[in-house]
Amino acid sequence: MGSKGLRAALAGAVLLVATASAQAQGSVIAAVPTERDIYGEVPVVLTASRLRQALPDAPAAVTVLDRELIRLSGAREVVELFRLVPGFVLITDNGNTQAVTLHGLADIYSRRFQVLVDGRSIYLPSVGGVAWSELGITLDDIERIEVIRGPNSATYGSNAFLGVINIITRHASTAPRLRLAGRGGMDHIRDAYLTAAGSAAGGALDWRLTLGRESDTGFEQRPDRRDLRSLNLRLDWQQSLTDSWFLGTGITGGLRENGRVGDPDDPPRDRDVLARWHHLRWSRTDMENELTAQIFYQRRENRERYTARYPNLAGTGLAAVASMDESYASERTDAEVQWIREPRAGLRWAVGASVRLDRVRSQGYFGRADWLENQVQRLFGTLELAATPRLTVHGGAMLERDGISGWKLAPRLAANLRLAPRVTLRFAASRAHRTPLLIEERGYAVLTATTALGDITAPYVAASGGLTAERILSREAGLVVHGRHLTGNLRVFREDLSDVIYSFKRPVTVGTPLGPVSVKAYDFVNGPSAVVQGAELEAAWRRGPLLARLAYAYTVIDGRGTDADRLERSGPRHAWSLLAGWRLPRGWTLSGVYYYVGKFEALGFAEEIGAVRRLDLRLARRLRRGGSRGELALVAQNLLDTYPETRRSPGKGPNFFDTRLFLEARMER
């Protein structure tokens, strides 16, 4: 845990506090309001980029998961929330490893998404996807999550391939001074959180510190325990009327068990994880301009060593023992500047540039001890023009270069036509790319097995390299209704995917004391293409204490080329969720969600999962005592039959999701 970065960040924080305090000396706030309060200038708070675009104006289909929805859903962790987004499917490898996907192409890594936390991309450059359980953000600290369905590389860069997940945490000034929260229940769920917040420098500087611990024993009969601790610090400093700073830093570490019971080559073992990040952003804002510059660094380490036993190694009849090392360290350093300008009403443009360095080091995955690097440079621009009072046109493009797949251009065009004050029609077309991962391009893992006759060395991952980026061309039409009680959007789309990178097992001949033997190693190629067509519907109806919300997706995948049928099965035809919430008198709230996911087979998983039906219920009571307030809630996840979550390797440790009950309590002041 030699964290030079953390020390640097803390030093930065101290410096920020000191500077802020020094600056605040001069500003004394009067006791009574004066003309200065009324005619004085104040910082522009809700700037163009901070305003959540009104859904009818957005150039893409956006699902917003706000705090109310997050609470009503009864979710325990962030990744579960995506079940509420039309077209999204949650995949679990085990109780502490999950992934999400949209429109099929489901695998255990959320490889085709851009995931941002306060503008910081948390997508892993090494193996792809997001380590959701190591996010280190408590649900209480989240302001909202915006999910853009459909590619949006023109704004978010590669990996904004199928969609973008944008997690926005709460400003430090709105955190309670003190919050204690906990959760306990079946599967040995034991979660505890402590948040403290305050301000300094006459209110110019706000801080929030959250400590968390999450633990459970995962699925029954699976070695998938987790015990993770996290620290998350956020500082917000209003330096002057126009300038503000944001500093975030966090660390998550602990244990995530892995392996399978009764599988000697994949035995139960501990995986020690440590993730940390630092993020600094400066913004200068006035009525027309918003200039931001940010830099972030994040590092994730995974230590996982175990002994694998093979009763019959590669069909040779030999028993073998191998020491496995799946440890790795990956880093991302990123700097970005962006300028948004709105010279007049109805015209807005943004330009920006960024540089990024991704590094990964893993003997186990790359067969070498040094760091592998990939550099990414980007230039991007977008323009939004209200051509007529009813027609708004959005155009944008990102030019990107990276060390693996070279130059790429991702353009996007959209037009929003207001049919009536509360009804908007949208057309959009875009092209996006997914840069091959380092493991896909340069993965090389070797197993050295010790047998009675001597050592046998065989690769089990052997990437041939030479990959090009996956490509997607998306066309969509959408209808957005923004009524007083009813809001909703419908999206019909066609997505043409080509050069899809997929893994297959390539025969490799290795020498053994018994002569040459053919073994299989994972390799990656740009293979099949697919046309994905479908429709997504999201509708919410709210009236007084009642809320009902439906999310539905219909998806048809038409695969072409190698393993086309595998692609076609990689997403459910129908999937939907229905949420209902009811605010009862005396601070009670009752809510429930019914989920249905049709059968599908995730890529890399050897088994089709039948249709899944699930019902979650939550009953909560608001508490107030003196200056404190809180909530007590009972959550029941899956009140229907036990169902199997997706799993690799059938017959080896099922991921049976039985009914899970837990109690949540939160108190703040």
Q: Which residue has the tokens 């070695």?
A: 223
Cβ proximity to other proteins, 67 vs 574, nearer residue: 67
CB of 21 to other proteins, least distance (A): 13
- In the complex with other proteins, the residue whose CB is nearer, 174 or 221, is 174
Helix spans in 46-174 (H): 67-73, 153-156
Shortest reach from residue 174's CB to other proteins, in Å: 4
**At its nearest, how many Å lie between other proteins and the CB of residue 189?**
27
- The residue (of 143 and 301) whose beta carbon lies closer to other proteins is 143
CA distances (Å), 382 to each of 354, 406, 489, 572, in order? 15, 22, 24, 34
Chain-centre distance for alpha carbon 480: 25
CB of 32 to other proteins, least distance (A): 4
Name 53's Cβ contacts closer than 8 Å, sequence gap at least 6: 62
Complex with other proteins: residue 77 or 143, whichever CB lies closer = 143
- Between 20 and 251, name the residue whose CB sits nearer to other proteins: 20
State in angstroms the smallest separation of the CB of 44 from other proteins: 5
Closer CB to other proteins, 510 or 665, in the complex = 665
C-beta closer to other proteins: residue 214 or 384: 384
Terminal CA-to-CA distance of the chain, rounded, Å?
34
Largest pairwise CA distance in the chain: 93
**Alpha-carbon distance values, 372 to 164, 332, 363, 400, 420 (Å):** 26, 12, 11, 20, 54
The residue among 10 and 425 lying less far from other proteins, judged by its C-beta, is 425
Q: What's the min distance (Å) between Cβ of 238 and other proteins?
A: 6
Q: Partners of 395 in the beta sheet?
A: 383, 413
In angstroms, the CA 158 to CA 400 distance is 8
Query: From the CB of 202, what's the least distance to other proteins, in Å?
Result: 6
Is residue 215 within 8 A of residue 188, CB to CB? The reply is yes
Q: Cβ contacts of residue 629 below 8 Å, gap of 6+? A: 622, 623, 667, 668, 669
In eight-state DSSP terms, residue 20 is H
In this structure, what token pair is assigned to residue 307?
């002994």
As a whole number of angstroms, the distance between CA 660 and CA 668 comes to 26
Query: 203-226: b or e for each residue (b if 16 or more CB lie within 10 Å)?
Result: ebbbbbbbebebbbbbbbebbbbb
**List of residues contacting other proteins (CB under 8 A):** 29-46, 48, 50-55, 57, 66-67, 143-144, 170-171, 173-177, 197-199, 202-204, 206, 236, 238, 241, 244, 287, 345, 421, 482, 484, 487, 629
CB of 39 to other proteins, least distance (A): 4
Q: Which is nearer to other proteins, 287 or 369 (CB)?
A: 287
Burial code (b: 16+ CB inside 10 Å, e: under 16) for 292-322 equals bebbbbbbbbbebebebebeebbebebebeb
- Count of helix runs (H) and strand runs (E) in the chain: 7, 37
Q: Give the nearer residue to other proteins in terms of CB position, either 41 or 658.
A: 41
CB of 276 to other proteins, least distance (A): 27
Q: In whole angstroms, how close is the CB of 53 to other proteins at the nearest point? A: 7
Q: Which is nearer to other proteins, 8 or 45 (CB)?
A: 45
Nearest-approach distance from CB 425 to other proteins, in angstroms: 17
Q: What is the DSSP string of 161-197?
A: SSEEEEEEEPPGGGS-SEEEEEEEETTTEEEEEEEEE
Please, which residues have CB within 8 angstroms of residue 40's CB and are 6 or more apart in sequence? Answer: none
